Amino acid sequence: TEEEIVASLGSPNQIAKELLADYHVEQATAKATTQNILRATWAVIGLAFFNVVIVLGPAVALAGFILSAWAIGLCFLLSPILVLGEAIVHSSGFFLFNLFMSLAFCGIGYFIMLGMFVVTKLAIKGFVRYLKYNVSLVKGGLKRVE
């Protein structure tokens, strides 16, 4: 009967949330900008309170790791400037040692920054796939997510 069909579809609010989540995840897949990924994350979180723990926790942890690794790479990369500034303010007998070590840290920072370009790109792709998986899980069907 029509009543059974309507009951099996669920509430209109839940259907609207699922459609919005699908739309925002597809937008994030097509163009992975920060705004699109944040919209997709909030849309998936809006599907159910359960998603606050499932989606928001890994998102915050991943963002924290990526931001801290970028900050470490940038600090290492800028270490020779800090040593030169320190040499101007305080002249010490270990200037050459400090300069050599800062150049070594600069090289390490360069490699960290190169690695973070790759890690950030992979993390964005992986997180969008995770959002797709989560949307399909909330909808009740675990189809293969591509």
Q: Which residues contact 106 (CB under 8 A, 6 or more apart)?
A: 76, 77, 78, 79, 80
Between CA 119 and CA 106 the distance in angstroms is 20
Between CA 146 and CA 140 the distance in angstroms is 17
Between CA 99 and CA 47 the distance in angstroms is 54
pLDDT band, residue 141 (cuts 50/70/90) = low
Q: What is the pLDDT of residue 113?
A: 95
pTM: 0.62
- CA-angle at 92, arms to 91 and 96, nearest 5°: 105
